[in-house]
A and B are shown apart, each in its own frame.
Chain A
Amino acid sequence: MEKSASAGTGVPAAIYDDDIVKKFAIATILWAAVGMLVGVIIALQLAWWPANLGLPWTTFGRLRPLHTNAVIFAFGGNICFTGIYYSMQRLLKTRMWSDTLSKIHFWGWQLIIVSAAVTFPLGLTQSREYAELIWPIDIAITLVWVAFAINFFGTIATRKVKHIYVAIWFYMSFVITIAVLHIVNNLAMPATFLRSYPLYSGMTDALVQWWYGHNAVGFFLTTPFLGLMYYFLPKAAERPIYSYRLSIVHFWGLIFLYIWAGPHHLLYSGLPDWAQTLGMVFSIMLLAPSWGGMLNGLLTLRGAWHRLRTDPVLKFMVVGVSFYGMSTFEGPMMSIRAVNGLAHFTNWVVGHVHSGALGWNGMLSFAVLYWLVPRLWNKPLARPAMATQHFWLATIGIVLYTVSMWAAGLMEGLQWRAVGDGGLLANPIFIDIVHRLEPFYWLRLVGGTLYFVGALMAVYNFWKTIRGPESVSADAAAPVPAT
Chain B
Amino acid sequence: MNPVIQQASESIGMGGMATILTLLFMVAFFAWVWYAYTPRNRQKFEDAALLPFEEGVDR
Interchain CA distance A244-B59 in the complex, whole Å: 20
Query: Which residue of the partner chain, among B33, B37, B57, contacts A8 with CB atoms under 8 Å?
Result: B57
Q: Is A61 on the interface with B (CB-CB < 8 A)?
A: no
List residues of B (1-59) whose CB comes within 8 Å of A's CBs: 14, 25, 28-29, 32-33, 35-37, 41, 44-59
Stretch of A246-254, A355-363, A437-445 at the chain-chain interface: A246-254
A-B residue pairs in contact (CB < 8 Å), sample of 16: A8-B56, A10-B59, A11-B58, A93-B54, A163-B48, A167-B52, A231-B52, A234-B49, A234-B52, A244-B48, A249-B36, A252-B32, A253-B32, A256-B25, A256-B28, A274-B14
Question: Closest residue of chain A to B44, judged by CB?
Answer: A163
Q: B53 touching A1 by the CB < 8 A rule?
A: yes
Q: Is A165 on the interface with B (CB-CB < 8 A)?
A: yes
List residues of A (437-459) whose CB comes within 8 Å of B's CBs: none
Number of interface residues of A (CB under 8 A): 36
Main secondary structure of the interface of B (DSSP, over half): helix
4 additional contacts, CB 8 Å, given A8-B54, A93-B55?
A8-B56, A231-B52, A244-B49, A252-B28
Question: Closest residue of chain A to B38, judged by CB?
Answer: A245
Interchain CA distance A244-B46 in the complex, whole Å: 7
Interchain CA distance A428-B31 in the complex, whole Å: 55
Q: Is A189 on the interface with B (CB-CB < 8 A)?
A: no
Q: B55 touching A13 by the CB < 8 A rule?
A: yes
B interface residues (Cβ-Cβ under 8 A, vs A): 14, 25, 28-29, 32-33, 35-37, 41, 44-59
A interface residues (Cβ-Cβ under 8 A, vs B): 1-2, 5-6, 8-13, 87, 90-91, 93, 160-161, 163, 165-167, 231, 234-235, 240-241, 244-246, 248-249, 252-253, 256, 274, 481-482
Interchain CA distance A165-B48 in the complex, whole Å: 6
